[in-house]
Amino acid sequence: MIFETVTTLAFGALALKARLSQTGESNDSAKLQKIFNVTGLNVKDGKETYTTQLVKRKVQPWGVEYKYRLPLGRSFEDYQAKFKTIEAGLATRRVKWEIKDFRELKLTKDIIKDIQTLYKKKLSHKKEVELVDDNFLIIRVYNEPMVTELPWFAGTGWKVPVGQIREQNKKIFLDFEKIPHIVLGGATRYGKSNYINTLICSLLYTKPNCVKFHLIDLKGGVELSDYENLEQTVSIAYEPEEALETLKGAYNSMLEVQKRLKKLGKKKVQDAGIEERHFIIIDEVGELNPDEAVDKKDIVKDGVMIHKSEKTIKLECQLYMSKIARLGAGLGFRQILATQYGTGDIIPRQCKQNSDGKLCFRVQNGTASNVVLNGEGAEKLPDIKGRAIWQTPTKKFILQTPLINSTVIHQAIEKYIVEKTKEEVNESANENTKTSKPQTRKHSLVIEETRFS
């Protein structure tokens, strides 16, 4: 009885508050004007003050969009520089109750505790804000923060998921038939390898009979070794010399496709009805930067190279990568390059030029963002794992990439693991003693030899 009275009273009080707050208009435009004033974004010229003029305020399903005309002497960058102040100024200081809050509350004995938790959560609620430069200054104030954890999902055909944008929680896909090569960037631990896993598993679900992987994991195999024994994996490399073999192999099979197409009098695999698509995936392409090679000296004896330096190996890798990027599109070869390094020519120029899709997670500064996106922006992403900018020639989105876990990966690969006995590996390794490959490569060599010899 007491419990019922308390809950009824609590609900009554909250419902009244909610009704009151519904009648009052959101006061963000007044707040914004105040922020512009106190931060000096409005311009004083003698007695005159030129203000940031509100042209339009539009209520959207996701929040409110404000459109401003900038005063003389101010640019979009001036406002962007005050982004943190604007965001902090719009943060909640008073709790506003809404009808939907009560729908989520359950009539249990914990109701008071639940209300307290909800109150605290609402009080610390920070509104997500976005500034857009669109001739006018556009400020978007969102009702709900964007999703921070998006469960993995598969795409369809050659389309793989990229993530979910804020507007109407729309899911965005990358169609490898339209955008063959992509570049992934971002500081370490923000989601590059997770995304590589996401796309590999999506392709295993949607195109298991047509997809071929050429994998290069220069982080010692921690990221891609799950795929080592897949029937779809043509080759896998963990060291630069192995990477060179893998790239050479991919390049050679690309030339084979080219020959086939020539015979058929066709220009593209799509026209020739060739269904196979090859994915060359390099996790940490920065490890193939020849400028950083320690061993720079080739040793040639009697006109024969007896030692190929690390620098030469990496240069050759970059040459193959460039060739694949240039010719691969019509031949069904796709290249995915990931890097954490935000400086210089980590990604060969040709590869970057031919990559129409760029996915960039949070980076330390504008220069690093420029390396991946050819523009700043990724340094201003919130400190959220999996949050990224997805850029194509026509579109640019901020999105949350899906998070994959080991269960999903194992379900995706289990059907395609090919059993290889130890004897098979050893036999093949013996055949290739000349090449004296490290132990880790013996497995991949088996596959490579059967495909390209």
Nearest residue to ligand ADP by CB is: 386
- List the interface residues with ligand ADP, window 403-442 (CB under 6 A): 403
- List the interface residues with Mg ion, window 191-210 (CB under 5 A): 192-193
One residue of 189, 262, 307, 326 binding ligand ADP per CB under 6 A = 189
Q: Is the dihedral of CA 59, 60, 61, 62 positive or negative?
A: negative
Q: Which is nearer to ligand ADP, 246 or 401 (CB)?
A: 401
CA-CA distance, 236 to 224, in Å (whole number)? 8
Closest distance to ligand ADP from the beta carbon of 339 (Å): 10
CA-CA distance, 111 to 105, in Å (whole number)? 7
Burial class from Cβ neighbours inside 10 Å (0-12, 13-18, 19+) for residue 114 reads middle
CA-CA distance, 335 to 348, in Å (whole number)? 12
Only one of the segments 55-63, 188-196, 257-265, 413-421 lies at the binding site for ligand ADP (rule: CB under 6 A); that segment is 188-196
**In sequence order, what are the beta bridge partners of 131?**
139
Closest distance to Mg ion from the beta carbon of 379 (Å): 19
Task: State yes or no: residue 186 binds ligand ADP (CB under 6 A).
Answer: yes
CA-CA distance, 234 to 449, in Å (whole number)? 9
- List the interface residues with Mg ion, window 141-200 (CB under 5 A): 192-193
Closest distance to ligand ADP from the beta carbon of 300 (Å): 39
DSSP SS3 for 302: coil
| Phi/psi of residue 214, nearest 5 degrees | -120, 105
Structure token digits, residue 374: 């050819």
Q: Which is nearer to ligand ADP, 49 or 405 (CB)?
A: 405
Task: State yes or no: residue 339 binds ligand ADP (CB under 6 A).
Answer: no
Q: Max CA-CA distance within the chain?
A: 100
Q: Which does 348 bind (CB under 5 to 8 A by kind): Mg ion, ligand ADP, none?
A: none
CA-CA distance, 351 to 197, in Å (whole number)? 21
Closest distance to ligand ADP from the beta carbon of 214 (Å): 19
Number of residues that bind ligand ADP (CB under 6 A): 14
- List the interface residues with ligand ADP, window 389-408 (CB under 6 A): 401-403
Closest distance to ligand ADP from the beta carbon of 406 (Å): 11
Task: State yes or no: residue 191 binds ligand ADP (CB under 6 A).
Answer: yes
Q: Which is nearer to ligand ADP, 185 or 332 (CB)?
A: 185
The closest alpha carbon to 174, from 187, 185, 184, belongs to: 184
CA-CA distance, 67 to 147, in Å (whole number)? 25
Q: Which does 190 bind (CB under 5 to 8 A by kind): ligand ADP, Mg ion, none?
A: ligand ADP
One residue of 52, 164, 194, 202 binding ligand ADP per CB under 6 A = 194
Angle at 349 between CA 347 and CA 354, to 5 degrees: 95
Closest distance to Mg ion from the beta carbon of 371 (Å): 17
Structure token digits, residue 223: 């990221």
Task: State yes or no: residue 355 binds Mg ion (CB under 5 A).
Answer: no
Task: State yes or no: residue 192 binds ligand ADP (CB under 6 A).
Answer: yes
CA-CA distance, 186 to 378, in Å (whole number)? 8
- List the interface residues with ligand ADP, window 119-178 (CB under 6 A): 149
The closest alpha carbon to 223, from 254, 253, 257, 200, belongs to: 200
Closest distance to ligand ADP from the beta carbon of 388 (Å): 8
One residue of 35, 52, 164, 193 binding ligand ADP per CB under 6 A = 193
Segment (H or E) for 334 = strand 333-339
| Phi/psi of residue 93, nearest 5 degrees | -115, -20
- Where along the sequence are the contacts to ligand ADP (CB under 6 A)? 149, 186, 188-194, 385-386, 401-403
- Where along the sequence are the contacts to Mg ion (CB under 5 A)? 192-193
